[in-house]
Amino acid sequence: MNEEIEMGAFQIIAAVGTARSCYIEAIHAAKAHDYEKAEKLIAQGDESFNQGHDAHLEMLGKEAEGDSVACLLIIHAEDQLMSAEGFKLIALELIDVYKEMEKLAK
């Protein structure tokens, strides 16, 4: 595997790892009824996720051009990308649940 592909994979892993952490922190903020912070963390997570997604699209483009980029590291990066996306969906749902619970408690 060439160094460019390896660096791209690590870029994806780092970016989406940051995104996933932001999404998890957003859940904790919502649980503490700090919805403004939760929204900011979702936005920060989205920025990081988009960086990872863009790096992934760049690799897919290289693959389409005939440059093989398939390897275990890329598979791991794609797995992390999908995992972060799942965490975002869960975070958004839980934030809504916490908001609804707070309304009902009042």
37-71: pLDDT as tens digits: 999 999 999 999 999 999 998 888 877 787 776 77
Asked if 44 and 22 count as a contact pair (C-beta separation under 8 A), the reply is: yes
Q: List all residues 6 or more positions away from 59 whose beta carbon is below 8 Å from its beta carbon.
A: 5, 8, 9, 12, 69, 74
Domain architecture of the chain: domains with CATH: 3-101 (1.20.58.80)
DSSP assigned state of 18: H
Annotated binding site for Mg(2+): 79
Annotated binding site: 79
Q: Is the pLDDT of residue 77 over 70?
A: yes
Asked if 55 and 88 count as a contact pair (C-beta separation under 8 A), the reply is: no
76 is catalytic: yes
Q: Is the pLDDT of residue 21 over 90?
A: yes
Distances (CA, A) of 73 to 1, 4, 35, 51, 84: 10, 12, 36, 18, 17
Q: Mean per-residue pLDDT for 62-88?
A: 85
Annotated active-site residue in 28, 53, 56, 76: 76
pLDDT at site 1? 56
pLDDT at site 71? 79
